[in-house]
Structure 1
Amino acid sequence: MLSVSFYEKVLAVIAAVPAQSVWISGSVVEHLGNAASDVDVFVAVEDRAAASVLPLTKINGNFDILISFVEGRRVDYEFWSQDEILRIAARLHAIPLNDAGKNILNQLSGSDTDFVHRLKTGWPVMDKARFNEIQSWFDFNFYKDYLVANTILYVDDAFDDTVGMFDNKDIDCAALRARFTVEMSVDVLLYSNGITNDKAKYRIKKLKTLGESNDFAKDVYNRFWQLQSKIPGSLKGKIAYIQDALKFSSEIIESVQH
């Protein structure tokens, strides 16, 4: 973990901002990153004007960004207004998860899901009480269920694509689509176990960690590595790969749903 002096220097950079709460999040907090990983700092402010006292690096549609360096390490500060945080909470809880007739695909944007996860896993370094209050605006179990349901839609689409390509004898495309089906299926397993980090670059590491306490996930890890790392070059090998990948995907989804 980072030192106390590092956190003090992180806060010193934004000392001029009337922040409601500040929390550290991202790969470093989740033990997914490394010594060169950026540090992500989230700053809750009453309104976006609060951050204007700083030389902002980027102004986004929903939040503002300041990139700085502390002890030679890059630190990304994101400034989120109270209204925007509440809007994300409202969008999340308005998703009709229990209505089969309603579309739930991608009801949250990438920045929405990133914020919710970073709030869920954050470590407060300023005003813990306010941080806890902001967390209370979100039902993280509901968020987990949304990620599972949303990603299953991707699995279903990729699975159907693979079958269609296979039947059409488009074996190369079917093999690649089968690999994507497997990737999405593994994400469903991770989400269902409360691992809501959606960064694909950490998929294998998240799965390996889950496998340390979950026998099914441990088996999934071993099989996933084989399916992910190599698609056979021969036609016969590709056909066997596709069949194995689809069977593997079905087993994961069945396990999650039951």
Structure 2
Amino acid sequence: MAGTATGTERSMTFESPVLELRKGSGEEASAEQSAALREAVRSGTLPTREEFLDAYPQFSTAACTFLSGSLVEGWGNVKSDIDAFVVTEEAEPPRSPSLLLMEESVSTQDPTVWIALGQLGPFRVDIEVWHVAQIDELVSRFVRPTEDGRNHYQGYTGSMSLHERDLFYRLCVGRPLTGSDWWGRQRQAIVESDYALWLAEDHKVGGENRLEDVLGMLSNGDARSAALAAREAFIIALSAVLAAHGDICPSRKWLPQRLERHQPPEISSEEAWRVLSMAGCVDSPGEWASETARLCHRLFLAVERALTEQR
């Protein structure tokens, strides 16, 4: 931030940082490192199997390693990091002075996942270490039973944490470095399971609760709060529609790209953007909230029809 003063007037201007911090290191990145990162993102160059194992040889015996995230999807930028996943049979990942391991809890019988911050070439890297049995257990929750010869949506009465949802998404869009056969089998199992429909139903239930908030706020004359709640309900409705079409991304930040990729027939990208940008809301927030609530209701009905067809 730079400031200039002329007489009694003072103006403030904001400038982009010259230096970047390497995540988790507490050190400033060099000009060469920053330039290498920008070039890697521009060219779409991702770390190779050899580069990953050279940097982290302790994971050479893992059942699978794969990269994922916005850079793998082609949506990254120079502030994006690489998400690396290591799937192992070992009870605990090998310790290394260069890799600080932190614990994260999940809902499986073995409740511990290990997470580390590191560096891979010019990229910052988040490394998650999962056990094969943990992923098997999570996937098994959504596999359709075949004993009775039927093949319809069974639903799931439990819950999935954001961390667990993120794993499913990252695995499905990932790029395997090692263990591609294992990765392919698990990805296919998730795609063929009830998970996407369960996620659509979960979004639908949460979104309908938000619509109740909109109606209550409108009846109380609180148009501005109703408009904000309606936008929130609309984001959930879009997530439900996308999940019904197989998109299981748990993040909201890539909604425009995901709509362009899947092009759901229920709503166009242009219509969705008008609502997301709250076009027309400033002049008439109450009317905007009402119209958006009606649109959300239409989208939730479409999701319900998709679920009914699979039951």
Same fold, TM exceeding 0.5? Answer: yes
Cα deviation, residue 158, structure 1: 0.6
Q: How does 1:229-248 map to 2 (within 5 A)?
A: 229-230=277-278, 232-234=281-283, 237-248=284-295
Q: Would the aligned equivalents of 1:23 and 1:122 in 2 still touch at CA under 8 Å?
A: yes
1:81 equivalent to 2:124? Answer no
Gaps of 5+ in 1: none
**In the aligned structure 2, how far is the partner of 1:8 from the partner of 1:158?**
48
Q: Would the aligned equivalents of 2:44 and 2:74 in 1 still touch at CA under 8 Å?
A: no
The CA deviation string for residues 14-36 of structure 1, in whole angstroms up to 9 with x for no partner, is: 21232111111111222222344
Which residue pairs with 1:42 in the alignment?
85
Task: Describe the shift of the 1:194–1:138 C-alpha distance in structure 2 as closer, same or farther (beyond 3 A).
Answer: closer
**In the aligned structure 2, how far is the partner of 1:222 from the partner of 1:49?**
48
Q: How does 1:153-172 map to 2 (within 5 A)?
A: 153-172=205-224
Task: Describe the shift of the 1:22–1:2 C-alpha distance in structure 2 as closer, same or farther (beyond 3 A).
Answer: farther
Task: Describe the shift of the 1:80–1:253 C-alpha distance in structure 2 as closer, same or farther (beyond 3 A).
Answer: same
**In the aligned structure 1, how far is the partner of 2:69 from the partner of 2:186?**
18
Q: Would the aligned equivalents of 1:47 and 1:82 in 2 still touch at CA under 8 Å?
A: no
The CA deviation string for residues 213-250 of structure 1, in whole angstroms up to 9 with x for no partner, is: x5544x2x22222222136334xx11210121012112
The CA deviation string for residues 150-181 of structure 1, in whole angstroms up to 9 with x for no partner, is: 00011110111111121122222211111111
2:117 to 62, 67, 70: 67
Gaps of 5+ in 2: 1-42, 106-111, 145-152, 306-311
**In the aligned structure 1, how far is the partner of 2:265 from the partner of 2:195?**
25
Aligned residues: 246
Task: Describe the shift of the 1:182–1:44 C-alpha distance in structure 2 as closer, same or farther (beyond 3 A).
Answer: same
Which residue pairs with 1:52 in the alignment?
95
TM-score, scaled relative to structure 2: 0.71
Q: Matched residue of 2:84: which SS? A: strand
1:15 equivalent to 2:61? Answer no
1:142 to 194, 218, 234: 194
Q: Would the aligned equivalents of 1:47 and 1:81 in 2 still touch at CA under 8 Å?
A: yes
Whichever of the two has the greater Rg, that structure is 2
Which residue pairs with 1:151 in the alignment?
203
1:250 equivalent to 2:297? Answer yes
**In the aligned structure 1, how far is the partner of 2:189 from the partner of 2:181?**
13
Task: Describe the shift of the 1:79–1:51 C-alpha distance in structure 2 as closer, same or farther (beyond 3 A).
Answer: farther
Cα deviation, residue 39, structure 1: 1.0
**In the aligned structure 1, how far is the partner of 2:240 from the partner of 2:102?**
33
**In the aligned structure 2, how far is the partner of 1:224 from the partner of 1:146?**
23
Q: How does 1:177-188 map to 2 (within 5 A)?
A: 177-188=229-240
Letter in 2 for 1:186: L
TM-score, scaled relative to structure 1: 0.84
